[in-house]
């Protein structure tokens, strides 16, 4: 990284850009460390959250399949789009399932699109079990902060009066700004991270699929998840 920065600084002049670097990554907090302090390798650079892939991507994949396997035409892009959405619009899992379904060794009795959709449903169920497990593993205040983030979305303000009241209501104990800050920091530092912070100080759930999981459970009257022993909303020693 230091060599790239040095090359950029040497080649570029005021009003003349000879070298422009465009890089991508999946860990937003780690990307921020490259740009947000004076000592960072790419201090002053901008981080942009890319829009998720959608129907155009699925249509492109369908055209590639048709070109390579004319016998499979017409491809049901509607089913593939459903599968892509159940994969959380994550192309790596979608393409992996496609590769398995289209493999000459695949023992399919029907269309490959249905096999991909079934694989996506299994993945979605696994992801939802994992998200529930991660939620229940959090401390009470961390749960409350994540709940607030899921509920508010882009309107999330972690330390305003309404937020602190919400945390107190969910944990059953007073919550200071410092305690909320520590809980939010913990969510960001988990592996995998549950929350991220933009350069402008905005917060979001790290995995967009968690929003869908939250909304589905909310609509089904199954929110919040409960421990096997029942709802444990009491504060622990660190949050008290």
pTM, rounded to two decimals: 0.69
Among 123, 153, 142, 170, which residue's Cα sits nearest to residue 215?
153
Is residue 237's pLDDT more than 70? Answer: no
- CATH assignment, 138-219: 1.10.10
**Listed ranges 19-28, 190-199, 216-225; the one with the highest mean pLDDT:** 216-225
* pLDDT tens sequence across 174-186: 999 999 999 999 9
Q: Are 236 and 139 in contact (CB under 8 A)?
A: yes
Is residue 43's pLDDT more than 90? Answer: no
Average pLDDT over residues 127-146: 96
Return the bridge partners of 196, or none.
Answer: 204
* pLDDT tens sequence across 52-87: 899 999 999 999 999 999 999 999 999 999 999 999
**CA atoms 173, 176, 178, 181: torsion sign:** positive
Q: Which two tokens stand for residue 33?
A: 């460390």
Average pLDDT over residues 192-207: 82
Domain ranges of the chain: 1-50, 55-131, 138-219
- Give the pLDDT confidence score for residue 30 in this predicted structure: 67
> Which three-class secondary structure state does DSSP give residue 142?
helix
The position carrying tokens 């991909």 is 116
Q: What percent of the chain has pLDDT over 70?
A: 92
Is residue 134's pLDDT more than 90? Answer: yes
């Amino acid at each position: 990284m230091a060599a790239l920065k040095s090359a950029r600084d040497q080649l570029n002049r005021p009003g003349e850009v000879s070298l422009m670097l465009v890089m991508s990554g999946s860990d937003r907090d780690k990307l921020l460390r490259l740009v947000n302090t004076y000592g960072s390798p790419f201090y002053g650079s901008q981080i942009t959250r890319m829009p998720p892939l959608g129907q155009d991507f699925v249509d492109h994949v369908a055209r590639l399949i048709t070109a390579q396997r004319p016998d499979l035409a017409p491809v049901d892009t509607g089913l593939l789009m459903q599968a892509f959405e159940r994969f959380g619009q994550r192309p790596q899992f979608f393409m992996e399932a496609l590769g398995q379904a289209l493999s000459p060794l695949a023992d399919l009795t029907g269309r490959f699109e249905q096999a991909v959709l079934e694989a996506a449903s299994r993945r979605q169920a696994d992801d939802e079990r994992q998200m529930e497990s991660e939620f229940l593993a959090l401390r009470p205040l961390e749960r409350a902060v994540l709940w607030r983030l899921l509920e508010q979305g882009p309107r999330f303000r972690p330390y305003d009066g309404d937020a602190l009241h919400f945390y107190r209501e969910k944990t059953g104990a007073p919550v200071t700004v410092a305690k909320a800050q520590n809980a939010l920091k913990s969510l960001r530092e988990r592996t995998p991270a549950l929350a991220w912070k933009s350069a402008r100080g905005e917060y979001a759930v790290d995995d967009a699929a968690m929003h869908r999981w939250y909304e589905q459970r909310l609509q089904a009257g199954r929110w919040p998840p409960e421990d096997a022993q029942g709802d444990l909303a009491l504060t622990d020693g660190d949050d008290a």
